[in-house]
Structure 1
């Protein structure tokens, strides 16, 4: 399924997006099809694996708008390769407004979809709003403090200290860059064994293995799970039980507070991506969740 390309603005910058048009009318209301808004995790771009989730949702009857954050991928904006949690949540809100205006879409059937870092963003974007019809959060990072403690179990303290020092230097002076993913023991945002291979396996042509070193400082203050009680729409949280990057206990707590449907997968952070053991199940559960949300008489899929 080939998406259409479109652009919209966020914070005065141009956002590049893909629009997957939903097939059929199985999930449609008289006003049109549901529409899903999705973006990637830390350092990710829409051409790095999102189509493997968007295409099945479109085949089930949802439109999908997948976008690149400002400063990443095909989108405009500067500085480049710099994570701003607040800015990325604002980009989600701009995408939500754009999605509601797509042809054939029911503006009252808006779905937020996030993975990893953006799995936390969708909690922030949905909190306190009554205009979000459903939310999907896949292997979400919802608590930066918990993630920091989680990292101590699998990283040497000197590795964490090194990246923290680089982040402080970047914030106080000229930007200092580091890889998104690197091998164990090297400087990088994700340096667990296998992370480099897993991330590069899904990397698309616009992806750059580089981030401003301030990313660690940004994520340390990132606690969208605290907003979970303010999420009132039907919610699916998908947890990798042996996730070494996004603490599964924090995700479970946020899911409980959001009164979410929870699905568990006995794997690690990247094991839900295309080509990995639990991708098919994760997609099937997302389609089933949206089918039940928008056609209540439907029966759940095991």
Structure 2
């Protein structure tokens, strides 16, 4: 496996940076490509490289991983703050990543798949439905409904206070002030944070020691018109006839298991479901990684790499 530093432009002229992986002994003909996007605030170093290495080692396949706009090594507009997540922009960026790899001589432009996890697990459901260039969709522990997910994570008695915070942030930004920020995670599950679960805190704090991940996102990231209004599985039934593999954690409290299973039930064939033991982050590393990535390799072998 070899890795190349790459960059590409989005449709609104933002530079996104990442890595392009190829097998150690690639054939002379162009190969299929799988584009991997990370979840809420995460960077490409946070296990995406592990998946890309695994796929290119076990398959005749190339992989593109990159940092989302406003995060890591990727850029942001001068008028847009760092650490801000706008789902529609991230979905558009996935389509721009497809355009980039289709322009490479070492990629088979007719065999491009997309892989997403958690927040981007929802993104790939949306992009796979509306961008017909996509030939396979792999969605891992996805956020399938921003509204339902928000109201599962946040206690009802906390919501009025959050709505006040959202209003204050709107007024401040309209007045030209710096965007308000909140932590992604906090050791106290009752404190204000974007992902208020103990396993989220453990996962992200472990990575904070290893890479340049920052424990903050803008308040706008979690406002109603961004997170709560985002409905990535609305068109899941339109992914067909593109093959879909949905990976769901058996005890997922961050992107709840039952919501993902209900979305899967609405998808049309061809589709496959893989239920992993454990919680939301169990498939990224540890004993579940081989089980998770191995199933994804099998799926890619008979679809994208057939």
TM-score, normalization by structure 1: 0.89
Name which of 277, 294, 299 aligns with 1:284.
Answer: 294
> Would the alpha carbon gap of residues 134 and 172 (structure 1) be closer, same or farther in structure 2, given more than 3 Å must change?
same
Larger mean CA deviation between 16-25 and 227-236 belongs to 16-25
Aligned residues: 289
**Superimposed CA distance per residue, residues 56-78 of structure 1 (whole angstroms, 9 cap, x where no aligned partner):** 11112211111111111101113
8 Å Cα contact 1:40/1:114 also seen in 2: yes
Contact 1:225 1:250 in 2 (8 A): no
d(CA) in 2 for partners of 1:270, 1:228: 23
Q: Distance in 1 between matches of 2:303 and 2:105?
A: 22
- Structure 1 pair 294/71, CA: closer, same or farther in 2 (3 Å)? closer
For the 8 Å contact 1:23–1:61, the answer to whether it is kept is no
Q: Which moved more, 1:171-180 or 1:133-142?
A: 171-180
> 1:214 maps to which residue?
220
Evaluate the alpha carbon distance shift between residue 165 and residue 61 of structure 1 in structure 2; reply closer, same or farther with a 3 A threshold.
farther
Q: Partner of 1:274 in structure 2?
A: 285
Match of 2:54 in 1: 56
Secondary structure of the residue that 2:248 maps to in structure 1?
A: strand
Listed as ranges, the gaps of 5+ residues in structure 1 are 297-302
Partner in structure 1 of residue 261 of structure 2: 252
Counterpart check, 1:182 vs 2:181: no
1:263 matches 2:274 = yes
Cα shift at 1:258: 2.6
For 1:28-43, what aligned pairs fall within 5 Å after superposition?
32-43=30-41
For residues 91 and 75 of structure 1, the distance between their equivalents in structure 2, rounded to whole angstroms, comes to 12
The answer to whether the 8 A contact 1:112-1:122 is kept is yes
Rounded Cα–Cα distance in structure 2 between residues aligned with 1:114 and 1:222: 16
Kept after mapping to 1: 8 A contact 2:21/2:63: yes
Q: 1:7, CA displacement in angstroms?
A: 0.7
Other-structure match for 2:200:
195
Supply the distance in 2 between the matched residues of 1:100 and 1:6 (Cα, whole angstroms). Answer: 14
Alignment check: 8 A CA contact 1:24 1:61 kept: no
Aligned-residue CA RMSD in angstroms? 2.0
Deviation at residue 246 of structure 1 after TM alignment = 0.6
Question: Residue 12 of structure 1 aligns with which residue?
Answer: 13
Q: How does 1:148-159 map to 2 (within 5 A)?
A: 148-152=150-154, 156-159=155-158
Is the contact made by 1:15 and 1:68 (CA closer than 8 Å) also made in structure 2? Answer: yes
1:223 paired to 2:231: yes
Instruction: Indicate conservation of the 8 Å contact 1:33/1:104, yes or no.
Output: yes
Equivalent residue of 2:281, what SS? helix
1:162, distance to aligned residue in structure 2 (A)? 4.0
Measure, in 2, the Cα distance between the counterparts of 1:67 and 1:194. Answer: 24
Distance, in Å, in 1 between the alignment partners of 2:302 and 2:143 is 26
Note if contact 1:169-1:176 (Cα within 8 Å) is conserved in structure 2.
Answer: no
d(CA) in 2 for partners of 1:42 and 1:36? 20
**Which residue does the alignment assign to 2:122?**
120
Change over 3 Å in CA distance of 1:163–1:52 after alignment to 2: farther
Which of 206, 211, 214 is the aligned partner of 1:205?
A: 211
Q: Work out whether residues 159 and 185 of structure 1, in 8 Å CA contact, stay in contact via their aligned partners in 2.
A: no
* Structure 2 residues without counterparts, runs of 5 or longer: 174-178
Superposed displacement of residue 87, structure 1 = 0.8
TM-score, length basis structure 2: 0.88
CA offset at residue 161 of structure 1?
4.4
The answer to whether the 8 Å contact 1:123/1:227 transfers is yes
In the alignment, what sits opposite 1:299?
none
Q: 1:194 to 1:79 in 2, by over 3 A?
A: same
Indicate whether 1:165 and 2:173 are aligned.
no
